[in-house]
Structure 1
Amino acid sequence: MKKSTIVGYPRIGVNRELKKAVEGYFKGDLILNELQSTAKLLRKEYWETQKEKGIDYIPSNDFSFYDNMLDMAILLGVIPKRYSELNLSPIDTYFAMARGYQKNDKDVKALRMKKWFNTNYHYMVPEIEEDMQFSLNDTKPYDLYKEAKELGVTTRPVVIGPFTFLKLSRLKTTNTFEKCLEELVDVYIEILSKFEADKVEWIQIDEPILATDLTVEDIILFKKAYKKLLDKKVNTKILIQTYFGDVRDIYNTLIELDFDGIGLDLIEGRKNLEIIEKYGFPKNKLLEAGIVNGKNIWRNDYKKSIEIIKKLEEYVEPDNICLSTSCSLLHVPHTLRAEVNMNEKYKESLAFAEEKLGELEDLKKLDSNSEYIESDIFKKNQEILERKNTNSICYNTIIRSKVENLKEEDFIRKEKFEERNKIQKELFKLPILPTTTIGSFPQTSEIRGLRQQFKKDGITQKEYEDKIKEKINEVIKFQEEIDLDVLVHGEYERNDMVEYFGEQLEGFLFTQNGWVQSYGTRGVKPPIIFGDVERTKPMTVNWIKYAQEQTAKIMKGMLTGPITILNWSFPREDLSLREIAYQIGLAINEEVLDLEKAGIKIIQIDEAALREKLPIRKEDWKKEYLDWAIPAFRLTASKVKPETQIHTHMCYSEFSDIINEIQDMDVDAITIEAARSDFSLLDFLKEKNFKPEIGPGVYDIHSPRVPSEEELEKLINIMMDKLDVNKLWINPDCGLKTRGIEETKLSLINMIKATKTIREQLKK
Structure 2
Amino acid sequence: MRTNIPGYPRIGSQRELKKACENYWTGKISLERLELTARQLRKQNWQTLQEAGIDLIPSNDFSFYDQVLDMSLALGVIPTRFRELQQTLVTPGCLELYFAMARGYQKNGFDIIALEMTKWFDTNYHYLVPEFEEVQTYALQSRKCLNEFKEARSLGILTKPVLIGPVTYILSGKIKSATLTHNLLLERLLPVYIQLFTELYEAGAEWVQLDEPSLVTDLEPGTKALYNTAYTAINTALPQLKIMLTTYFGGLEDNTSLVTELPVQALHIDLVRAPEQLDTVLAALPETMQLSLGVVDGRNIWKNDFTHSIALLQQAIQAIGTERILLATSCSLLHSPYNLDDETTLHPEIKQWMAFAQQKVGEVVALKQILSGNTTLLQENREVMNSRQTSAGIHIPAVKARMKNITDDDLTRRQPFPARQSLQHALLQLPLFPTTTIGSFPQTVEIRQLRSNLKKGNISPEKYDADIRTAITEAIHWQEALGLDVLVHGEFERNDMVEYFGEQLQGFAFTQHGWVQSYGSRCVKPPIIYGDVQRPQPMTVAWSSYAQSLTTKPVKGMLTGPITILQWSFVRNDQPRMQTAFQLALAIRDEVKDLEDAGIGIIQVDEPALREGLPLRKAPRAAYLEQSVQAFKLAVSPVKDETQIHTHMCYAEFNDIIEHIAAMDADVITIETSRSQMELLEAFAHFRYPNETGPGVYDIHSPRVPGVAEMEKLLHKAAQLLPPRNIWVNPDCGLKTRKWPETEMALRNMVLAAAKVRKEFSVELQPG
Q: What SS does structure 1 have at the residue aligned with 2:111?
A: strand
CA distance in 2, matches of 1:468, 1:608: 26
CA distance in 2, matches of 1:616, 1:763: 45
CA distance in 2, matches of 1:377, 1:51: 21
Q: What SS does structure 1 have at the residue aligned with 2:118?
A: strand
Q: What is residue 735 of structure 1 aligned with on the other side?
A: 734
CA distance in 1, matches of 2:341, 2:447: 27
Aligned letter for 1:246? G
Q: Say if 2:231 and 2:264, in contact at 8 Å, map to a contact too.
A: no
Q: What is residue 475 of structure 2 aligned with on the other side?
A: 475
Q: Say if 1:602 and 1:646, in contact at 8 Å, map to a contact too.
A: yes
Q: What is residue 368 of structure 1 aligned with on the other side?
A: 372
CA distance in 2, matches of 1:676, 1:691: 24
Q: What is residue 71 of structure 2 aligned with on the other side?
A: 72
Q: What is residue 134 of structure 2 aligned with on the other side?
A: 130
Q: Which stretch of the first structure deviates more once superposed, 297-306 or 627-636?
A: 627-636
Q: Say if 1:112 and 1:677, in contact at 8 Å, map to a contact too.
A: yes
Q: What is residue 125 of structure 2 aligned with on the other side?
A: 121
CA distance in 2, matches of 1:22, 1:747: 23
Pairs within 5 Å for 1:404-483:
404-483=404-483
- Structure 1 residues 439-473: Cα deviation after superposition (integer angstroms, max 9, x where no partner): 00000110010001111111111100000000000
CA distance in 2, matches of 1:454, 1:685: 44
Q: What is residue 505 of structure 1 aligned with on the other side?
A: 505
- Structure 1 residues 359-407: Cα deviation after superposition (integer angstroms, max 9, x where no partner): 00100011122xx5xx221111111111122222210000011111211
The answer on 1:229 being equivalent to 2:234 is: yes
Q: What is residue 717 of structure 1 aligned with on the other side?
A: 716
Q: What SS does structure 2 have at the residue aligned with 1:235?
A: coil
Q: What SS does structure 2 have at the residue aligned with 1:101?
A: coil
Q: What is residue 766 of structure 2 aligned with on the other side?
A: none
Q: What is residue 310 of structure 1 aligned with on the other side?
A: 314
Q: Say if 2:124 and 2:568, in contact at 8 Å, map to a contact too.
A: yes
- Structure 1 residues 306-343: Cα deviation after superposition (integer angstroms, max 9, x where no partner): 00111122322321110111111000101112112222
Aligned letter for 1:634? K
- Report the Cα offset of residue 626 of structure 1: 1.4
Q: What is residue 329 of structure 2 aligned with on the other side?
A: 325
CA distance in 1, matches of 2:611, 2:659: 13
- Report the Cα offset of residue 763 of structure 1: 4.3
- Structure 1 residues 169-228: Cα deviation after superposition (integer angstroms, max 9, x where no partner): 111132221111111111112112112211211111111111111111111221122111
Q: What SS does structure 1 have at the residue aligned with 2:458?
A: coil
Q: Say if 1:199 and 1:236, in contact at 8 Å, map to a contact too.
A: no
CA distance in 2, matches of 1:752, 1:228: 54
Q: Say if 1:283 and 1:317, in contact at 8 Å, map to a contact too.
A: no
Q: What SS does structure 1 have at the residue aligned with 2:14?
A: coil
Q: What SS does structure 2 have at the residue aligned with 1:238?
A: strand
- Structure 1 residues 382-440: Cα deviation after superposition (integer angstroms, max 9, x where no partner): 11111122222210000011111211111111211111011111111100000000000
- Structure 1 residues 648-686: Cα deviation after superposition (integer angstroms, max 9, x where no partner): 000114111011111111110000011112212323312
- CA-based RMSD of the aligned residues comes to 1.1
CA distance in 2, matches of 1:353, 1:226: 31
- Report the Cα offset of residue 629 of structure 1: 1.1
Q: What is residue 177 of structure 1 aligned with on the other side?
A: 182
Pairs within 5 Å for 1:135-146:
135-146=139-150
Q: Say if 2:251 and 2:273, in contact at 8 Å, map to a contact too.
A: yes
Q: What is residue 398 of structure 1 aligned with on the other side?
A: 398
Q: Say if 1:282 and 1:316, in contact at 8 Å, map to a contact too.
A: no
Q: Which stretch of the first structure deviates more once superposed, 490-499 or 648-657?
A: 648-657
Q: What SS does structure 2 have at the residue aligned with 1:313?
A: helix
Aligned letter for 2:659? N
- Structure 1 residues 586-629: Cα deviation after superposition (integer angstroms, max 9, x where no partner): 00000000000000000000001101111110111122x21211
Q: What is residue 96 of structure 1 aligned with on the other side?
A: 100
User: Across the two proteins, how many residue pairs are aligned to each other?
Assistant: 757
Pairs within 5 Å for 1:242-391:
242-277=247-282, 279-369=283-373, 375-391=375-391
- Report the Cα offset of residue 546 of structure 1: 0.5
2:197 to 186, 192, 199: 192
CA distance in 1, matches of 2:642, 2:62: 51
Q: What is residue 622 of structure 2 aligned with on the other side?
A: 622
Q: What is residue 753 of structure 2 aligned with on the other side?
A: 754
Question: What are structure 2's unaligned runs of at least 5 residues?
Answer: 764-768
Pairs within 5 Å for 1:607-646:
607-623=607-623, 625-646=624-645
Question: What are structure 1's unaligned runs of at least 5 residues?
Answer: none
Q: Say if 2:518 and 2:524, in contact at 8 Å, map to a contact too.
A: yes
Identity %: 48
Q: What SS does structure 1 have at the residue aligned with 2:570?
A: coil
The answer on 1:47 being equivalent to 2:46 is: yes
Q: What SS does structure 2 have at the residue aligned with 1:108?
A: coil
CA distance in 2, matches of 1:388, 1:505: 20
CA distance in 1, matches of 2:487, 2:264: 58
For normalisation by structure 1, the TM-score amounts to 0.98
CA distance in 2, matches of 1:56, 1:637: 51
Q: What SS does structure 2 have at the residue aligned with 1:231?
A: helix
Q: Say if 1:58 and 1:156, in contact at 8 Å, map to a contact too.
A: yes
Q: What SS does structure 1 have at the residue aligned with 2:639?
A: coil
- Structure 1 residues 213-252: Cα deviation after superposition (integer angstroms, max 9, x where no partner): 1111111221122111111113221111111111123221
Aligned letter for 1:730? V
CA distance in 1, matches of 2:320, 2:735: 52
Q: What SS does structure 1 have at the residue aligned with 2:648?
A: strand
CA distance in 1, matches of 2:603, 2:262: 55
Q: Which stretch of the first structure deviates more once superposed, 706-715 or 432-441?
A: 706-715
Q: Say if 1:84 and 1:93, in contact at 8 Å, map to a contact too.
A: no
Q: Say if 2:118 and 2:129, in contact at 8 Å, map to a contact too.
A: yes
CA distance in 2, matches of 1:509, 1:44: 32
Q: Say if 2:670 and 2:732, in contact at 8 Å, map to a contact too.
A: yes
Aligned letter for 1:241? T
Q: Say if 2:49 and 2:361, in contact at 8 Å, map to a contact too.
A: yes
Q: Say if 2:626 and 2:660, in contact at 8 Å, map to a contact too.
A: no
CA distance in 2, matches of 1:439, 1:257: 49
Pairs within 5 Å for 1:657-668:
657-668=656-667
